[in-house]
Amino acid sequence: MRPLADGTIPPEGSAYWVALTQFETAARVLNLDEGMADYLRHPKRELTVNFPVTMDDGPLRMFTGYRVHHNTVRGPTKGGIRYHPNVDLNEVRALAMWMTWKCAVVNIPYGGAKGGVIVDPNLLSQSEVRRLTRRFATEISIIMSPEGDIPAPDVNTNAQTMAWIMDTYSMHKGYSVPAVVTGKPVQIGGSLGRVDATGRGVMVTTREALKLRGKSYRDVTVAVQGFGNVGSFAASLMAAEGAKVVAVSDASGGIANSKGLDLKALKEHVARNKIVKGFPEADEITNQELLTYKCDVLAPCALENQLTGQNADQVKAWIVAEGANGPTMPEADRILEDKGVMLIPDILCNAGGVTASYFEWVQDLQSFFWTEAEINARLERIMAEAFHAVMAEAEKRKVGRRVAAQVLAIGRVAEAATLRGIYP
């Protein structure tokens, strides 16, 4: 791998190493000019902030956070903010790069960004999380705006987090600026259909993949890793289409029942107990066992680096729908392709969230809002069109579907950069 401008190479196996490895493969297929390739592999700007928060019992505690803008040639940057103890700058760089390609593959006018704070929010009180969020929003507000960079929820952040960020930014401006974030509550400028949009995108792209094999959801079993905002909605929407969901998991572990899980009862169980473990009429399994559980469709909707060279050959599903960002390592990609598994790559499969975020941003800018039916119809059209564009690219270039998605996306960004020209 070519070193970056600072002379470094990301640690092998890290999310950023995976993102750059994928990029190099697509750049070779595109026969991209080396100067343009070097431009696109680098983030445009990176902000690291160290900031204090007053804890409930009085003392100050320092936190570190990041905001990375990968590319802006197709529009303002867009990307989530995550709160997690394992957040680091390389991970945020990778996620920002993937966001650029994700926006381009569904052809919406954004570049990619990502942010995060090194924290386990489960160890903080609600008031401590609120103060942390407001201080972090203040720190990154120097590069955040409705015209320049629009954050959204990600791991361990939600609509309330976005409400605090929007309010903080608005207090600094002196007037309400709802378009500065997406994923807000509907009552303050959020969009209908936003909460389930990423899961809906997973459902739509998987449905289109099944059609290519002459199947429908009524014909298949599904296992979903991750039962948060993405996985729970993906599972429910697939089940509503007729699929039999046989296994799900969260950070605590997983549950399985080959006869199918009652998702309504499971959601009630999770609402009461906060975890899927302990759900009756299901066997307990580990997250690793879920990835190799007997099913037709596997939807990894948790964190990155889940399918590896060690477990990919044991995957029994014939469709892998990547609801998470970067869940499959490059060596696992090769194994799954050799097995004939139909992979729906992350930058396509989970792009429903950023597509709905785009809808929210547009509605906020014009102060005119659409119905949920209109939003879902627009989302389904964009996701289905993007799916078939990626399939056509794979067929035309005789490459795997991940490479095809990256080639389509990177080609669009490179074309925009060429048309704009390099300043000055």
pLDDT tens for the chain, 424 residues long, are 888 888 888 998 888 998 999 999 999 999 999 999 999 999 999 999 999 999 999 999 999 999 999 999 999 999 999 999 999 999 999 999 999 999 999 999 999 999 999 999 999 999 999 999 999 999 999 999 999 999 999 889 999 999 999 999 999 999 999 999 999 999 999 999 999 999 999 999 999 999 999 999 999 999 999 998 899 999 999 999 999 999 999 988 999 999 999 999 999 999 999 899 999 989 999 999 999 999 999 999 988 889 999 999 999 999 999 999 889 998 999 999 999 999 999 999 999 999 999 999 999 999 999 999 999 999 999 999 999 999 999 999 999 999 999 999 999 999 999 999 999 9
What distance in Å separates the CA atoms of residue 66 and residue 48, rounded to the nearest whole number?
A: 5
Query: CA 392 → CA 30, 104, 401, distances in Å?
Result: 15, 16, 9
Give the pLDDT confidence score for residue 78 in this predicted structure: 98
Query: CA 34 → CA 28, 179, 351, distances in Å?
Result: 10, 37, 28
β-strand pairing of 244-250 with 253-256: antiparallel
Which residues are registered as beta bridge partners of 145?
149
DSSP letters spanning 59-81: -EEEEEEEEEE---TTSSEEEEE
Contact 305, 283 (CB under 8 A): no
Give the pLDDT confidence score for residue 417 in this predicted structure: 98
Residues 6+ apart with CB under 8 A from 365: 146, 179
What angle, 0 to 180 degrees and rounded to 10, lies between the N-to-C axes of helices 401-420 and 89-105? 80
Give residue for tokens 């892998």: 320
Structural domains for the chain? 45-176 (3.40.50.10860), 197-349 (3.40.50.720)
Give the pLDDT confidence score for residue 5 in this predicted structure: 81
pTM of the model: 0.93
Q: Looking at the annotation, which residues are catalytic?
A: 114
For 326, the 3-state DSSP assignment is coil
Give the pLDDT confidence score for residue 263 in this predicted structure: 93
Give the pLDDT confidence score for residue 2 in this predicted structure: 81
Q: What is the 3-state secondary structure (H, E, C) of 296-308?
A: CEEEECCCCCCEC
- φ/ψ of residue 418, rounded to 5: -65, -45
What distance in Å separates the CA atoms of residue 322 and residue 231, rounded to the nearest whole number?
A: 10
Rg (CA), the chain: 21
Contact 326, 348 (CB under 8 A): no
Buried b / exposed e along 20-32 (16+ C-beta atoms within 10 A): bbbbebbbebbeb
Buried b / exposed e along 132-161 (16+ C-beta atoms within 10 A): bbbbbbbbbbebbebeebbbbbbbbbebeb
Cα three-residue angle 180-184-189, rounded to 5 degrees: 75
Q: Write the Ramachandran bin of 198: left for phi over 0, alpha for psi from -120 to 50, otherwise beta.
A: alpha
Give the pLDDT confidence score for residue 392 in this predicted structure: 97
